[in-house]
Amino acid sequence: MSVLRPYLAVWRLPGAPLLLGVGPLARLGIGMNPLAMLLLVHQGTGRYSYAGVAGGVYAMASAAASPVGGRLADRFGPAPVLLITAVTHPVGLLALLLATGAGSGGLAMIYAAAAFAGATYPPLTATVRGAWNALTDPETGHHHLRGTAMAAETTIFQTVFILGPLLVAGFLALAGPAAAIIGSAVVTLVGTGLMAYGRAMRAHRRPAAHAHTRGLGPLRVPGFVALILCTACLGAAFGATGVAVPAYVATWAGAGDGGQSLGGVLLAVWGIGSAVGGFWYGTRRPRSELARQLAWWQFLLGAGFLLLAPMPNLTALGAALLVTGTAIAPSLTVANTLVGRITPRGMLNEAYTWVVTLSVAGGAVGSAVAGSIVDRPGGVPWAFVFAGAVVGAAALVAGWPSGPVARAEADATRQVGAPRPGTRVRGGGLFDRRQ
C-alpha cells in the first residue's frame, strides 16, 4: 500500500476523481476517430486513397485549431470552450457520416466535414493537464504531488489508444463504421459535458485583462520552443516505430491478416511497458531537476530504440519493446511537468495544445520518413535507428547545462519560488557533473 500512497493522495485532490475517471473516457474519440473515419470513408467511396486524405485533413485541422482552443480556454476558462466543442464536434462527425452517403461524388463535402470535425475536437488533453497544474500549484500545498498527478494522467491516457481501436472493432462486428462514428460522437458529447461541469474545470481563475495572451503567446516564453521541439522528436520516434514494427512483422509473419494482427499485439505490448514505467515513476520523487530528468529518460528511450534494430526474431522484438516502453510515460510525464513549470499560468492551456500539435506533426513526419526507409531492402532496422537518433538529439537539447530548457527551468524556479525537484543536484543538464 505504501507504493499506492502517492496516487491515493492525488485521488483525494478536489476534482481529481473526475479527471482520472471521466477524463480518459471523454477522450476515447482520439483513439476511435482515425480508424473509424478511415473505414467509413472507404466504405462510402470505395477508395483508401480518399479515406487517407480525409484522415489527413482531419488531423491537420485539429492540429491547426488546437492552439486557438487553448487560448480561448485560458482567456474565458476551459468550461465554456469544452461545452461548445462538446456539441460542435459531434455535429461535424454526423456531417461526415451524411457526406459519405453521396460516395465519391461528395468528396468536397467529405473533406469539409472532416476539417470541421477536426477543428472542433475539444481541447481535453490540454485542459486536463492545465487542471492538474492548478490543483498542484505551489500555493495549494500539494505541489509535491505534481509529478505523481502527471504520471497518473499520462499512464491512464495510454488506455485511450488501446480501448479506442477495440471499441471500433466491436462496433464493426455489430453494425459497421457508421455505428463507430456515432459511438465516438456520443462518448465525446457526454464525456466532455461532464468534464466541463467538473469542479476542476469550473475552478479556473480567469486572468486579468492586461494579462491576456497576445501574439505568439507561449511561443515567446524562453525555453518553450526548445521543449516542444523535444516533444516533437518523441512524436517522430513514435510515428516511426508505428511503421517499423508492422513492417518487421510482415517480414517474419507475412503481410496477411495474421501478420497485421501480430503487429498490433506487439504495439500493445509496447504500450503496456509504457504504463508500467509511468506507474513506477509516479511513486518516485526524483531529486534532480526536470530538465536533467527529461534528458536521461530520452537518452534511455533513444537507446531502447537502437536496441530494437538488431532483434533476431519476433519474441526478442516483443521483449525489447516491453523494456523500451517503460521509458515512454516517464519521458512524457516529465515533459508535461516542465511545460507547467516554465509557462505562465495565464497561457497554460494554450501551451499544452502546442505540445499536442507538435507531437502530432512530429508523428506524421516520423511515419513518412520511416515509410520511405522500410520500403528499401533491409531498411526496417534503420527505421528503428532513425527513431533512436531523433530522440537522442532531443536528449542533447534537454540536457545541455546552459541550454534553453535548463535555463528556463532555473529561471522559472527562481521567479515563482516553487520547490525544486531536488536540492542536491546543481545545474540541470545531462552533462553537468557538479554535485
Closest CA to 129 of 272, 420, 340, 406: 340
Least confident of 183-192, 199-208, 356-365, 378-387: 199-208
Instruction: Kindly state the average pLDDT of the residues 356-379.
Output: 83
Residues of the chain with CATH 1.20.1250.20: 1-206, 213-435
CA distance linking residue 47 with residue 264, whole number of Å: 23
Instruction: Kindly state the average pLDDT of the residues 8-13.
Output: 90
Q: Any residues with CB less than 8 A from the CB of 408 and at least 6 apart, and which?
A: 221, 222, 223, 224, 226, 227, 342
Round the average pLDDT of the chain to a whole number and report it: 83
Least confident of 157-161, 191-195, 349-353, 403-407: 157-161
Q: pTM of whole model > 0.75?
A: yes
pLDDT-based confidence at 194, cuts 50/70/90? very high
- For the chain, the first-to-last Cα distance in angstroms comes to 33
Q: Which CATH superfamily is domain 1-206 in?
A: MFS general substrate transporter like domains (1.20.1250.20)
In angstroms, what CA-CA distances link 274 with 169, 238, 268, 318? 23, 12, 10, 13
pLDDT given for residue 261 in this prediction: 57
**Architecture field, domain 213-435:** Up-down Bundle (1.20)
pLDDT given for residue 416 in this prediction: 55
Identify which has the larger pLDDT, 106 or 178. Answer: 178
Q: Does residue 95 carry a pLDDT above 90?
A: yes
Share of the chain above pLDDT 70, in %: 89
Q: Does residue 390 carry a pLDDT above 60?
A: yes
Q: Does residue 212 carry a pLDDT above 90?
A: no
Instruction: Kindly state the average pLDDT of the residues 343-372.
Output: 84
pLDDT given for residue 140 in this prediction: 79
Instruction: Kindly state the average pLDDT of the residues 72-96.
Output: 92
